[in-house]
Structure 1
Amino acid sequence: MLNAEILTKWMTNFENRITQQKDHLTELDRVIGDSDHGNNMERGVNAIKAAFEKTPPTADLAQDFKTIAMAMLSKVGGASGPLYGTAFL
């Protein structure tokens, strides 16, 4: 069952994977876009981390997912911010 501990682990893993693959994401975007996807996603996961450092996840998972969504919406540019934001909402 999903709880604050599992959500924290999930988001930490997401952050680590995005950070590790930032250059690859940017290279993929270079072929079809403006080469900023890796940087945008890294800003997004850093915003999630900062938000959870300020207000750690709680038993209110709906609020926790809203926190994630708002971090992605506010920091990830292009179409990805709204897409990820909506997915997490």
Structure 2
Amino acid sequence: MNVIQSIAALKASLQEALAQQDWEAMGELDRRCRALVAEAAVGDASGDPALREQLEELSRLYVVLQQAARTERDRVASELTRLNQSKQVNQAYRSLE
């Protein structure tokens, strides 16, 4: 499999992981993607228009992934805040018993 096909396959895997909100898989795919992009940057195909197109598509996907990660981070932070407040209310209630 050449670099262009590998990027396309990784892009598809990232999209699937995003659809499933599989953050662990996205982290692993991100590591593989970074290595592949580094390989593409130094490879013979670095001027290939097809490679450039795949990298641009990958870049657009990363914008979507970053937004999804921020949204998930905010959701988790909100949930943790709510749980902490609930714990504080329970502790206050127990102190009144």
TM-score of the alignment, normalized to the shorter chain, above 0.5: no
Quick one: higher RCO (CA 8 Å, sep 6+), 1 or 2?
Answer: 2
Identify the structure with the greater helix proportion. 2
> Shorter-chain-normalised TM-score: which range?
0.3 to 0.5
**When the two structures are superposed, what TM-score results if normalisation uses the length of structure 1?**
0.37
**When the two structures are superposed, what TM-score results if normalisation uses the length of structure 2?**
0.35
Q: Mark the structure with the bigger radius of gyration.
A: 2
